[in-house]
Amino acid sequence: MTHRKLSAPQVSALAGAALVQFGLAGFAWWDLSRRPAAAVRGSKTVWAFAIAVNFAGPLAYLRFGRRRVPGVPAV
């Protein structure tokens, strides 16, 4: 199906989902880049690739990839 066959509400929903996806990924990459390795569960490189996986990657990182470390502010 091409975008020309989509109705206006479908295009709007798709655009909204894309904005949420890119927003989540952008925030997760921003957080990962500023977080010390000691405050990340696992490899930062692996998490950087995982964040690129649709909604699941950023949500997984934000839920399971971050570790609370004294002195590191929670975002």
Can you tell me the distance from the alpha carbon of 15 to that of 10, in angstroms, rounded to the nearest whole number? 9
Can you tell me the distance from the alpha carbon of 21 to that of 74, in angstroms, rounded to the nearest whole number? 22
Domain of residue 61, residue span: 37-67
Q: Give the pLDDT score at 29.
A: 97
Q: Give the pLDDT score at 23.
A: 95
Asked if residue 74 has pLDDT above 80, the reply is: no
Does residue 73 belong to any structural domain of this protein? no
Domain tally for the chain? Answer: 1
Does residue 11 belong to any structural domain of this protein? no
Does residue 57 belong to any structural domain of this protein? yes
Convert the pLDDT of each residue in 16-65 to its tens digit. 999 999 999 999 999 999 999 999 999 999 999 999 998 899 999 999 99
Asked if residue 69 has pLDDT above 90, the reply is: no
Q: How many residues does the chain have?
A: 75
Asked if residue 73 has pLDDT above 70, the reply is: no
